[in-house]
Amino acid sequence: MSSNYYEVLGVSPDATPEQIKKAYRRLARELHPDVATGEGAEDRFKDVSRAYEVLSNPEKRQMYDRGVDPSAPGGGGDPGFGAGFGFQDIFETFFGGGQGGGGQRGPVPRARRGQDALVRLEIELREAAFGAHREVPVDTAVLCSTCQGSCCRPGTSPRTCDVCGGRGVVQRVARSFLGQVMTSSPCAACHGFGTVIPEPCTECSGEGRVRSRRTLSVDVPAGVDTGTRIKLTGQGEVGPAGGPAGDVYLEIREKRHETFVRRGDDLHCTLEIPMTAAALGTVVQLETLDGSRDIDVRPGTQPDQVIVERGLGVGHLHVGGRGDLHVHVDVQVPTGLDAEQERLLRELAALRDEERPASRLSPAHPGVFSKLRDRLAGR
Annotated binding site for Zn(2+): 144, 147, 161, 164, 187, 190, 201, 204
For residues 123 and 328, give the distance between their C-alpha atoms in angstroms, rounded to a whole number. Answer: 26
Of 355, 354, 307, 315, nearest to 331 by C-alpha is 307
Of 232, 270, 267, 234, nearest to 251 by C-alpha is 232
Instruction: Give the residues across from 314 on adjacent strands.
Output: none
- Say what the alpha-carbon torsion angle 26, 30, 34, 38 is, to the nearest 10 degrees: -160
Of 268, 106, 115, nearest to 193 by C-alpha is 106
For residues 126 and 262, give the distance between their C-alpha atoms in angstroms, rounded to a whole number. Answer: 11
CB atoms under 10 Å from CB of 180, counted, come to: 9
DSSP state at residue 114: P
Instruction: Determine whether 211 is exposed, middle or buried from the number of CB atoms within 10 Å of its CB (0-12, 13-18, 19+).
Output: exposed
For residues 346 and 356, give the distance between their C-alpha atoms in angstroms, rounded to a whole number. Answer: 11
3-state helix, strand and coil shares in percent for the chain, rounded to the nearest 5: 25, 30, 50
CB distance 57 to 81 below 8 Å: no
Annotated binding-site residues read 144, 147, 161, 164, 187, 190, 201, 204
For residues 277 and 334, give the distance between their C-alpha atoms in angstroms, rounded to a whole number. Answer: 12
Rg of the chain in Å (alpha carbons) = 41
DSSP state at residue 152: B
CB distance 155 to 164 below 8 Å: no
State residue 168 phi and psi, 5-degree precision.
Answer: 85, -10
